[in-house]
Amino acid sequence: MQDVSIVMCGAAGQGIQTVEQLLVGIFKDAGYNVFATKEYESRVRGGSNSTELRVAKERRAALVDRMDIFIPFDQAAVSHEVHRISGDTLVIADKDSFPADGPADLPSPAVLLPFKEKALEVGNRLYTNVVAAGAVTGLFGVDPEIGEAIIRRKFSAKGEDLVRENIQALHAGNDLGSSLREKGHRFEVKCTKGVADELLLNGNQAIALGALAGGCDFISAYPMSPSTGVLEFLSQHQKDVPIVVDQAEDEIAAINKAVAAWFMGARAIVSTSGGGFDLMTEGLSMAGIMESPLVIHLAQRPGPATGLPTRTAQEDLNLAMYAGHGEFCRLVFAPGTITQAFDLTRKAFDIADRLQIPVFVLTDQDFVDSYYNIPDLDLSATPQDHFIETSEGYRRYELTEDGLSPRGVPGHGDGLVRLDSDEHDEHGHITEDLRHMRPAMVEKRLHHRRILMEEFLEPPTLQPGEAKNYVICWGSNHNVVKEAVELLDNKDLAMMHFHQVHPLHADVRELLSAAERTVLIENNATGQFADVLKLQADHHVPEADRHLRYSGRPWSVEEVVSVLRKEGF
Amino acid sequence: MSDQKIYDMPHAKAWCPGCGNYGIHRSLKEVLADLDIPPQRLVMVSGIGQAAKLPQYTKAHMFNGLHGRSLPAAMAIKACNPGMTVIVTSGDGCTYGEGGNHFLAQIQRNPDITNIVHNNMVYGLTKGQASPTSLKGMRTKVQTLGVMNEPFNPLAVAIAMGATFVARVYQGDREQTKEVFKAAIEHRGYALVDVFQECVAMNKVNTSQWYKDNTYRLEGHDPTDRTEAFRRASEEGRYPTGIFYREEGRPTFEDTLPLYHESKEPLYTRSMDVDRVRKLLDSVRSV
């Protein structure tokens, strides 16, 4: 077996995420390709949260239903995942957390191990999950010493005792796993050279790093799942890379601060989710009339209103495309991979700056919370500032042939930079000149769209390149669809993944008109991207070929395979 | 000392004849000239309303943003270039009504900005509805039974929130207005100046005569005494004017930002340091 899926499930507060991090770190440092994704309830304690790890020879970065190893921390965890347990699943449970015959409702009995007992021997029952993590490393024959450095990094600030006990717990668990391995529960996955030196990051970190690579030096955001990771990461590193970090009083303030920061020559990002972005729409509209650059990270979760705060969806494409009153131009990116998240966020700053428009990076909970190793990220494109040194008589909204007025920054040169949320003349002065100035300014603002279409749009990814049938997806569904298409290995079928969802590249129309069949996979109930294809590329995906998921869960590889098989591929 | 004409703009003003805005504008320009602040070093920020048009008529950099949102913008502007003088001028509806949360939150941060609030106790541009500071009983086209709400007390709120400079003036008292404006601009930290002004078109209660009859200068008050400041700010009926509270030396929002500890340069002069970002990338090679 070269691709092992490990699922751990327990109540919030039982340390599932600590174990996930520890295990992902150990496997990656040991040279395995790793992927981890979690699903959790909107609560701090209790309930059932789970995390899935994939340890594989090849790069794997999508959820699978299959569980090769399942570790439930309580009976509720078994009920939570029971539909995924098969006769091939190795279920390992702590012998003291269940009745003598182990967890109920299993197709075959669980292997019971003394996780808690070993934890108590080390000194505290809180180490139970670390013992369990150690057992997993033992099943793979991984040297637990690899985990020591990680434990040291994570816990050294909390004292040498804690470090020592965690290491002891990991070793104790490893011994338990090793003895199981000797009894035949062997998991053999080939290591890959170089993986240990690769990067390991989740979607939120990729967005934050992409922002920094794009020259971001200002973030203002109000915490909201699942977007908060960007604010946290940038705040944690504000001493490493100079950046103004402000936890705004609300999202309205956040976006107004961001636009004002761009006005001053900074490069600002806001990071939010649906409800928070609703509050930002007024400020977005202001960015439109002010012709301000702006980068918006919008991490989707199911709505309407509070909806499902910790679950995933692709329901806010229409919101990103149409939010804000009045007419102005914008660009919406929807990265499908960690590398794309980094590259597109970096690029978002450049395009926002050059075209003086808002650029969205549209992600979702599944995307921002999942992480895996990637070879490296490209830092070669150093950000360029696209503003000028002004001289006296400078006009911020000078009417030019291409609609772009050179952007000045207060303090840089002798000119005065005057931005107005009212309709304005070339100087930025409020105007009601309906005969000349108003139409000229409207046309100027929409002119940016032409430049965007001509110079900045990218076509979708086709994989494999030669096929006549396409499964269309966008944003976070990239990895799961790609893996499903690879598994089907049908030379007539390719994935068509859109990482730029609005506006669409001009070639899309032609590409789709040449297609024999298209099916579509997206995570909303109304087929929002199907509508985009109709509107912008005159391509109709029949209702029957739209596979829409709106439960709040991401797609698994098996589910996509099953959908595509039913479609005849 | 410069000539206040350097702040003049050529445009006609959209203010009614006799509006208190003219007096506030004149006092402010005189103080700016007195302090020798060149237009290139001055950023005027406002929201929406008749008062919020003041930056339109003032030669300086301008961020005339959204209704209620002037303070977050001003705080960010100062954070991006602490060398600039940042002055916010907007009305009572904009600042205390639509922008209430921003008012509280920016006071907490203590950015080094001056917040001049034109307080005419009425909504002028929308033609005469009650504002947060309207006095009880005032009848309008909306408040047909008279204003029922307790009037918002910006000074007491600001002092309670920990604002480091809190003052009130009546614009018709030009001498005190200029003196307080000057002190507010020179104050290092958030400075609130609530400016009583008449709205000749829409407020028939709080007229110039009413302000003359119902205000008096604070005398012998110790502005470092916060408890006393709060007590004086709570006075109703006849309203004291002057500096109620002043605290020097509290760190500003900008002071707290690590990026200014290594360099005082404004953000626009800096460029991305690729080595630092690479180092950060290296830190995510393991968990």
CATH number at residue B45: 3.40.50.970
Among A198, A416, A424, the residue to mutate for chain B (most B Cβ within 10 A): A416
Provide the CB-side half-sphere exposure for A358 (13 A, CA): 34
The model's pLDDT over B19-73, given as tens digits with 9 standing for 90+, comes to 999 999 999 999 999 999 999 999 999 999 999 999 999 999 999 999 999 999 9
How far is A177 from B50, CA to CA, in rounded Å? 74
Picking from B7, B256, B268, B271 by the largest number of A CB atoms within 10 A of its own CB, the best residue to mutate is B268
Greater model confidence, A454 or A205: A205
Cα separation, A113 vs A119, in Å, equals 12
If we measure between CA atoms, which residue out of B84, B259, B241, B116 comes closest to residue B190? Answer: B116
Domain A200-374 has CATH 3.40.50.970: yes
Residues forming a β-bridge with A424? A430
Helix (H) or strand (E) holding A518: strand A517-522
Q: Determine whether the interchain pair A260/B73 forms a contact, defined as Cβ–Cβ distance below 8 Å.
A: yes
Residue B285 falls within a domain, yes or no?
Answer: no
Q: Which tokens in the block code for residue A41? A: 């309830």
Q: Is residue B66 part of a domain?
A: yes
Q: How far is CA A144 from CA A72, A123, A526, in A?
A: 22, 19, 49
Instruction: Give burial (CB, 10 Å; 0-12/13-18/19+) of B213.
Output: exposed
* Domain annotation covers residue B215: yes
B136 is a domain residue: yes
Note whether A522 and A364 are within 8 A (CB).
no
| Best to test chain A binding among B41, B80, B90, B125 (most A CBs inside 10 Å) | B80
Cis peptide before A554 (omega within 30 of 0): no
Q: Around A133, how many Cα atoms within 13 Å sit in the side-chain half-sphere?
A: 33
Q: Do A272 and A251 contact (CB within 8 A), yes or no?
A: yes
Q: SS3 for A475?
A: helix
State residue A563 phi and psi, 5-degree precision: -60, -45
What's the rounded Cα separation, in Å, for the pair A35 and A258?
Answer: 34
Distance CA B89, CA B114 (A): 8
Q: How many helices (H) and strands (E) does chain A have?
A: 18, 23
Say yes or no: B273 contacts chain A, CB-CB below 8 A: yes
Q: Which residues of B touch A378 (CB under 8 A)?
A: none
Q: Is B286 part of any domain?
A: no
Domain assignment present for residue B88? The answer is: yes
User: What residue in B sits closest to A430 (Cα-Cα)?
Assistant: B56
CA distance B128 to B141: 7
B7 touches chain A (CB under 8 A): no
Q: Which CATH class is domain A3-197?
A: alpha beta
**Which residue, chain included where needed, has tokens 């690899």?**
A146
Of A86, A28, A22, A74, residue with least CA distance to A50: A74
**Of A511, A422, A532, nearest in space to A468 by CA:** A511
What confidence tier does A15 reach under pLDDT thresholds 50, 70, 90? confident
Chain A environment of B287 (Cβ under 8 Å): 21-22, 24-25, 28, 150, 153-154, 200
Give the lowest-confidence range in A267-281, A450-464, A470-484, B203-217. Answer: A450-464
Banded model confidence at residue A323, pLDDT cuts 50, 70, 90 = very high
Q: How far apart are CA A33 and CA B240, in angstroms?
A: 71
The per-residue DSSP string of A240-263 comes to TTT-EEEE-SSHHHHHHHHHHHHH
Domains A200-374 and A461-566 share a fold: yes
Measured CA to CA in angstroms, residue A281 lies from A255, A328, A489, B136 at distances of: 9, 13, 44, 35
Put simply, whether B61 touches A (Cβ < 8 Å) is yes
**CA of B228 vs chain A CAs: smallest distance (Å):** 29
For the segment A409-453, what is each residue's pLDDT rounded down to a tens digit?
999 999 999 999 999 999 999 999 999 999 999 999 999 888 888
**Under a CB-based contact definition with an 8 Å cutoff, are residues A494 and A467 in contact?**
yes
> What are the structure tokens assigned to B66, written together?
């959204």
Confidence of residue B82 (pLDDT cuts 50, 70, 90): very high
- CB–CB contact A217 B259 (8 Å): yes
B88 touches chain A (CB under 8 A): no
Partner residue opposite B77 with nearest CB, options A198, A238, A263: A263
Cα A395 to the chain's mean position, in Å? 40
Q: Chain B partners of A259 at a C-beta cutoff of 8 Å?
A: 65, 73
Nearest to B274 among A149, A246, A379 (CB): A379
Q: Do B77 and A215 touch (CB under 8 A)?
A: no
Helix, strand, or coil (residue A27):
helix
Q: How far apart are CA A548 and CA B102, in angstroms?
A: 41
Complex confidence, ipTM:
0.98
* Residue A454 scores a pLDDT above 90: no
Helix (H, G, I), strand (E, B) or coil at A419: strand
Q: Is the pLDDT of residue A45 over 90?
A: no
Distance from the A34 Cα atom to the nearest Cα atom in chain B, whole angstroms: 12
8 Å CB contact of B65 and A379: no
Report the sign of the C-alpha dihedral through residues B217, B219, B225, B231, in that order: negative
Q: Is B40 on the interface with A (CB under 8 A)?
A: yes
Smallest Cα–Cα separation from A206: which of A181, A178, A234?
A234
DSSP, collapsed to helix, strand or coil, labels residue A25 as helix
What is residue A304's predicted lDDT score, i.e. its pLDDT? 98
Residue of A nearest to B258 (CA): A239
B183-199 pLDDT, tens digit each? 999 999 999 999 999 99
Nearest-neighbour CA in chain A from B77: distance (Å):
6
Report the C-alpha gap between A541 and A557 in whole angstroms.
22
CB pairs < 8 Å spanning A and B = 210
Q: Are strands A90-94 and A111-113 parallel, antiparallel or unpaired?
A: parallel
Q: Mean of the pLDDT values across residues A84-104?
A: 94
In chain B, the number of structural domains is: 1
Give φ, ψ of A211 to 5 degrees: -60, -45
The pLDDT of residue B270 is: 95
Q: Which residue type sits at A515?
A: A
CB < 8 Å to A256, chain B: 65-66, 69, 72-73, 76
Evaluate the CA torsion angle A353, A357, A358, A361 in order and state its sign. negative
**Stretch A170-195: mean pLDDT:** 95
Mutate to test the interface with B, among A244, A285, A286 (most CBs of B within 10 A): A244
Q: Which of A322, A261, A323 is nearest to A292 (CA)?
A: A261
pLDDT of residue A455: 85
Encoded tokens for B250:
């509290």
Residue B262 belongs to some domain of the structure: no
Instruction: Say what the pLDDT of residue A14 is.
Output: 85
Give me the pLDDT at residue A425, please: 98
Mean per-residue pLDDT, A537-545:
96
Spell out the domain ranges in chain A.
3-197, 200-374, 390-455, 461-566
- Predicted pLDDT at B38: 98
d(CA A51, CA A7): 6
Residue A70: Cβ-neighbour burial (10 angstroms; 0-12, 13-18, 19+): buried
Query: Cα separation of A296 and A253, whole Å?
Result: 14
Ramachandran category for residue A369: left, alpha or beta (phi over 0 → left; psi -120 to 50 → alpha): alpha
Are residues A256 and B72, on separate chains, in Cβ contact within 8 Å? yes
Pick the residue from chain B with its C-alpha nearest to A234.
B280
Task: Please give the structure tokens belonging to residue B179.
Answer: 């003196």
Boundaries of domain holding B57 = 4-253
How large a percentage of chain A has pLDDT more than 90? 92
Contact list in A for residue B56 (CB cut-off 8 A) is 420, 429-430
B46: contact with A, CB 8 A cutoff: no
Query: Which CATH fold would you assign to the domain A461-566?
Result: Rossmann fold (3.40.50)
Residues of chain B numbered 138-157 and touching chain A (CB < 8 Å): none
Nearest to B83 among A376, A409, A411 (CB): A411
Please return the burial class of B35, using the count of CB atoms within 10 Å of its CB with bins 0-12, 13-18 and 19+.
Answer: middle
Residues from chain A contacting residue B276 (CB–CB below 8 Å): 240-241
Say whether residue B168 is in contact with chain A using an 8 A CB cutoff: no
**Is the pLDDT at A201 greater than 90, yes or no?**
yes
Of the candidates A241, A259, A429, the beta carbon closest to that of B277 is on A241
B32 to chain A nearest CA, in Å? Answer: 16
Q: In the predicted model, is pLDDT for residue A1 greater than 80? A: no
**Partner A, chain B 102-121, Cβ-Cβ below 8 Å:** 102, 104-105
- Residue from A154, A200, A263, A342 to probe the interface with B (highest B Cβ count within 10 Å): A263
In this complex, which of A199, A377, A416 lies closest to B61 when CB atoms are compared? A416
Rounded CA-CA distance B96/B118 in Å is: 11
**What is each CA distance from B9 to A414, B31, B56, B60, B131, in whole angstroms?**
16, 17, 8, 9, 30
pLDDT tens for each residue of A456-479:
889 999 998 889 999 999 999 999
Please, are residues B79 and B58 in contact by the beta-carbon 8 Å criterion? no
A482, A483, A488, A489: CA torsion to nearest 10: 70
Contact state of A265 with B266 under an 8 Å Cβ cutoff: yes
Out of B65, B81, B278, closest to residue A421 by CB: B65
**Counting Cβ atoms within 10 Å, is residue A255 exposed (0-12), middle (13-18) or buried (19+)?**
buried
